[in-house]
């Protein structure tokens, strides 16, 4: 927690002060374009091989509450330690106050503002660069708050991925781009397409070359084989 807070707060000032970044459709790996928090549970997996997640919301005059909890490692090895969480006003406005309390499996923030104020949130994975650890977490924001409207943004699958599961008898795809128009291009010259099969479960039908796959999107992390849960494509940005 201390490590994240020391890194997070200077970056908020240096990179994001005064910037009203466009809302993202899912978890964001980029501090400059944080994802919009939505009402209710914001659930995700954070991966030590992928990196931090960033969110934002707007605190309205009055009180607000942030609750963040994390669970047991769901993929890779449990190397010990725990993910970290921090929140900061972006930028701080006159009369804005925020305090936090750490628990064994999460962190809560309570704050008050006298005028509409943007709040930036960062989640950092367990520090394990040599052994993968993937940790589920849940983020809930309540009180006098408003959430940016992410409607009309790109599908959550859109992004750049690295191939992590090689297909027997086929060349490596290299970098893989899932584009907004439902097509896929790879750095080795391959092409394909994707189609959402079930929005609630995040299941997609994906075809690249002659290979057809059913993949589940783990937002902000990867596309995994729906049956085996093996990571097929890992999100880069």
Say if residue 115 is in the same domain as residue 183.
no
| Whole-number pLDDT of residue 1 | 45
Residues 185 and 130 in one domain: no
138 and 71 in a common domain:
yes
Instruction: Choose the final residue of a domain: 107, 122, 146.
Output: 146
Same domain, 27 and 135: yes
Asked, for residue 151, whether it belongs to a domain, the answer is no
Are residue 112 and residue 58 in the same domain, yes or no? yes
Run means of pLDDT, 10 residues per run, the chain, 237 residues = 47 40 54 86 88 92 96 70 92 95 94 94 88 89 81 73 84 90 91 89 89 88 89 86
Number of domains, the chain: 2
Same domain, 81 and 182: no
- Are 43 and 141 in the same domain? yes
Domain carrying residue 224: 159-235
Q: What is the pLDDT of residue 14?
A: 38
Residues 112 and 18 in one domain: yes
What 3-state DSSP class applies to 83? coil
Q: What is the pLDDT of residue 76?
A: 58
Phi, psi of 176 (to 5 degrees): -130, 125
Residues 136 and 166 in one domain: no
Report residue 151 CA to chain centroid gap.
17
């Amino acid at each position: 927690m201390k490590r994240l807070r020391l890194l997070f707060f200077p970056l908020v000032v240096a990179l994001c002060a005064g910037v009203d970044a466009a809302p993202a459709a899912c978890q964001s790996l980029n501090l400059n374009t944080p994802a919009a928090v939505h009402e209710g549970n914001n659930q995700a997996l954070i991966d030590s091989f992928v990196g931090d997640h960033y969110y934002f919301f707007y605190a309205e005059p009055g009180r607000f509450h942030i609750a963040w909890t994390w669970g047991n490692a769901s993929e890779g090895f449990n190397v010990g330690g725990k993910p970290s969480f921090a929140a900061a006003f972006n930028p701080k406005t006159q009369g804005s106050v925020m305090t936090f309390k750490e628990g064994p499996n999460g962190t809560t923030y309570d704050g008050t503002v006298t005028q509409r104020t943007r709040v930036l949130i960062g989640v950092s994975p367990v520090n394990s660069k040599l052994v993968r650890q993937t940790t589920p977490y849940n983020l809930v924001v309540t009180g006098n708050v408003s959430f940016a409207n992410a409607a009309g943004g790109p599908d959550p699958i859109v992004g750049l991925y690295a191939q992590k599961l090689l297909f027997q008898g086929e060349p490596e795809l290299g970098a893989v781009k899932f584009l907004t128009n439902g097509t896929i291009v790879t750095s080795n010259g391959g092409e394909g397409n994707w189609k959402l099969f079930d929005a609630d479960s995040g299941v997609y039908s994906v075809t690249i070359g002659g290979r057809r796959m059913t993949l589940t999107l783990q937002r902000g992390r990867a596309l995994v084989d729906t049956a085996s849960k093996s990571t097929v494509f890992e999100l880069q940005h």
